[in-house]
């Protein structure tokens, strides 16, 4: 079984990536590649954490489809547990762990705005279980890459009620 990426490990990797970009600042292809890797690190860092929020629709789906998973609430469902149980519980395919602050925005804050990596991971790497239909609404409004005026407003305009 592969080791999980800890918060501390993610911070160290991202700090190293940031230093690499400083040393190769004129090589756009290189820095773009590193930023893409950084996005993957942020994703992995959020994969094994409990969700910060759940949408009402996702919770309704969860409550209406009992499982034998040793997960006491939807908020405690990890992405790896969801992935490994999709065949046994097909309804899990409808659940999406959504990053309320898009990863591309967080990468920009780290590399372009020089924001503190530790604070970003602790305070802004926030997730919410939503259903696929809610995710489609976000994409229709092109809010999958950025959230002008904040994620809560975007969710509200898409009719996503979160708990």
How many domains does the structure of the chain reveal? 1
Tell me which of 4 and 59 has the higher pLDDT.
59
- Select from 43, 59, 38 the least CA-distant residue to 4: 43
Distance CA 127, CA 27 (A): 33
Tell me what the mean pLDDT of segment 78-85 comes to: 92
Crossing angle of helices 7-23 and 28-47, rounded to 10° = 180
Residue 89 lies in a domain: yes
User: Tokens 């490994």 — which residue?
Assistant: 84
Q: Which of 39, 33, 60 is nearest to 110 (CA)?
A: 39
Residue-wise pLDDT tens digits, 35-78: 999 999 999 999 988 999 999 999 999 999 988 888 889 999 99
- Residue 163 counted as domain residue: no
Flag whether 153 is in a domain: yes
Residue 95: per-residue pLDDT? 97
- Asked whether the predicted pLDDT for residue 1 surpasses 70, the reply is no
């Amino acid at each position: 079984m592969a080791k999980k990426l800890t918060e501390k490990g993610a911070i160290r990797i991202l700090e190293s990536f940031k230093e690499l970009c400083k040393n190769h600042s004129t090589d756009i292809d290189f820095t773009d590649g590193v930023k893409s890797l950084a996005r993957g690190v942020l994703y992995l860092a959020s994969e094994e954490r409990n969700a910060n929020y759940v949408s009402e629709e996702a919770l309704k789906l969860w409550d209406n489809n009992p499982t034998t998973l040793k997960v006491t609430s939807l908020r405690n469902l990890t992405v790896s547990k969801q992935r490994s149980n999709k065949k046994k519980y097909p309804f899990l395919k409808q659940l999406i762990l959504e990053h309320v602050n898009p990863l591309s925005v967080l990468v920009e804050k780290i590399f372009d705005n020089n924001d503190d990596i530790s604070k970003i991971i602790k305070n802004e790497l926030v997730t919410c279980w939503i259903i696929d239909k809610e995710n489609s609404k976000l994409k229709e409004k092109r809010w999958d890459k950025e959230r002008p005026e904040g994620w809560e407003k975007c969710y509200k305009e898409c009719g996503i009620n979160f708990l």
